Amino acid sequence: MTASDEKFTCQRLLEVHTLTSSLFTLRTTRDPGFRFTAGQFARLGVQKADGSLVWRAYSMVSAPHDDFLEFFSIVVPGGEFTGELARLRPGAELRVDRQAFGFLTLDRFADGRDLWLLATGTGLAPFLSILQGFEAWERFERIFLIYSAREARELAYQSLIAELPERDYLEELGRKLHYIPVVTREQVPGALNGRITSLISSGELERAAGAELEPEHSRIMLCGNPQMIEDTRQLLKARGLNLALTRRPGQVAVENYW
């Protein structure tokens, strides 16, 4: 094995599930030595026809205790990596870096009362990983999952979200989850309509949640479109909610999922 090979393992594609023409999920085998914290991401590599490798980072949807890895991807038109990834079928080989990365993890925060998980598109992935563990349910009194997509058909993992609170290991803790879907381009019963930033500015998101975004009790994670993250950060900063840094405690953690 060369020094280069030692940086990754070769894994086998188990499943590919197409959600829309531009969204799909994939599941791979997992090396027994691969460790990660819920909320982190891995670098995946696919081999092109010319033999070269192309790499991209994807947050895990799967939980740290699962014996497989699952990812949620968008097809980027003309994209070098997703074009190669989307054509793969079960049995194909992918590379997975031996090390996981990222700081969108619960250890970014001191304890608070309310955990807010705000996602757009495939930025939902790390929050599903977090919610399949036990820590979030134990540490927080209320968990608000806000998931925004352009159209209702792009709201992925609805069955998983619905069954999460019913898992046996959570017992009564499942009552803590409050799921609020958001659809930006159409009116959908049971979902808010509008961009997350607009819903925060108008107060509609907090009214729907029955809770306030405020420094004392709120711990907020943002993942998705970089512009959404930057705009939301500014709105939160104006309310005294600041980034949680290694050198400075805060209430907000982010991951630009792009």
The domains of the chain, with CATH numbers, are 5-97 (2.40.30.10), 106-256 (3.40.50.80)
Return the pLDDT at 3: 39
Return the pLDDT at 111: 84
Q: Alpha carbon of 65 to those of 25, 130, 133, 200: distances in Å?
A: 19, 11, 8, 35
Closest-CA residue to 255 (of 38, 26, 84, 95): 38
Distance CA 7, CA 18 (A): 30
Return the pLDDT at 80: 84
Distance CA 92, CA 220 (A): 37
Return the pLDDT at 199: 98
pTM, rounded to two decimals: 0.94
In this prediction, residues 59-66 reach a mean pLDDT of 97
- For the stretch 104-145, pLDDT in tens is 999 999 889 999 999 999 999 999 999 999 999 999 999 999
